[in-house]
Structure 1
Amino acid sequence: MSYNYTSDFERQVNQLVLRGILDRSVRMNEIRKLIESHTGSMNHKPDTTQLERLADYILKEELTDPNPYKMSHTPYPILSPWQQELRYRREVTLKVAEEIGADGQRYAAPKRRHRSTKELLLLDEQARIRNAERAAQYQKDTAPGPISVYHLRPDEISPPSRDSKYIKKS
């Protein structure tokens, strides 16, 4: 029958954690002794999961501190997973700081909203009506008008031709 190093180390870690040592330096010494005894006598590396549990046990005060403002109150804060998740949910990007002023107003460049299909169809119908009106007005404005000839000097006046409608025919 072979000796199971992993389960033995896990059992020893469980016993140490259940002792609930309050003083951190004593806790660290006990953990150091446990790891040295395990690695020295058995010449076997401890399980990483159990080492992580021991590290959490060393940082017990920091990880169980429920103060939401520990980031600003302590010089080197350590967040528990739930505190880290809470912090990420509360944080906003710097883009928000650029766009929202101290008065709470949004100063970002305005963005157009996308029109619905119904709105686009209505606009197309109205545009066709306006385009027809504009085309009619354009035709009227650009149509050739009657030609008027003005003579400014008497020597430029020529006798009217026989086909002219202003000459009396005899």
Structure 2
Amino acid sequence: MVFSTEANYKESFATAVTHLITQDMPVQWRIKAVDDLIETYLKQVGEIPDSDQLERLTNYILKDSKNQPDKVSNTEYPVFSDWQQKHRCRREVPLEHLGKMAVAVKRTGIRFKHREKRRRIA
């Protein structure tokens, strides 16, 4: 594919992206094809492609990736980011507190402001 600065190179790149996206290939080949297309564009035009086209290419590479919204129940030892770990700790309630709560509260959820309070041992 030729992207010349005399012609409408952005439009021709968008056409090349559309053509590439319609092809079905394994992930490794997709990564290589996207990398080659971007490298060719950079060499011929001398600037970074449009962000919309880069987003389309990224989505094309990731189209088969498994999105795991419930990785905790599907994975034996899930790995959490720092944010996920903090969020999970905020949402969890110790079982000893649930026994004293009303049934309606158990269903709707509980918010404790000070979960880390510990009893003093005299």
TM-score interval for Structure 1 and Structure 2 normalised by the shorter chain:
0.5 to 0.7
> CA 1:67–1:45 in structure 2 vs 1: closer, same or farther (change >3 Å)?
closer
Counterpart position of 2:70:
69
- Deviation of the 1:47 alpha carbon: 0.5
Task: Please report how far the alpha carbon of residue 26 of structure 1 lies from its aligned counterpart in structure 2 after TM superposition.
Answer: 0.8
- Quick check: 1:35 aligned with 2:38? yes
Q: Does 1:10 align with 2:14?
A: yes
Change in Cα spacing, 1:53 to 1:75, as seen in structure 2 (3 Å) is farther
Identity %: 26
Amino acid across the alignment from 1:70: K
Partner Cα separation in structure 1 for residue 79 and residue 40 of structure 2? 31
Between the aligned partners of 2:79 and 2:94, the Cα distance in structure 1 is 31
Which ranges in structure 2 are unaligned for 5 or more consecutive residues?
1-5, 81-86, 102-109, 114-122
2:94 to 88, 92, 101: 101
Name the Cα RMSD after superposition: 3.4
TM-score (norm 2): 0.55
Kept in 2, the 8 Å contact 1:38–1:46? The answer is yes
Q: Residues 75, 30 of structure 1: CA spacing in aligned structure 2 closer, same or farther, 3 A cutoff? A: farther
Q: Could you tell me how far apart the structure 1 residues matched to 2:71 and 2:61 are?
A: 18
Secondary structure of 1:68's aligned partner: coil
Give 1:8 deviation, angstroms. 1.2
| Structure 1 position 67, deviation (Å) | 4.5
1: CA distance between counterparts of 2:79 and 2:14?
30
1:23-77 CA-to-partner distances (Å, cap 9, x unmatched) read 1111111111111111112223200111111112112222xx3543236639789
2:71 and 2:55 map into 1 onto residues whose CA distance is: 23
Residues 110-138 of structure 1: CA distance to partner in whole angstroms, max 9, x if unpaired? xxxxxxxxxxxxxxxxxxxxxxxxxxxxx
Structure whose alpha-carbon radius of gyration is higher: 1
Secondary structure in 2 matching 1:44? coil
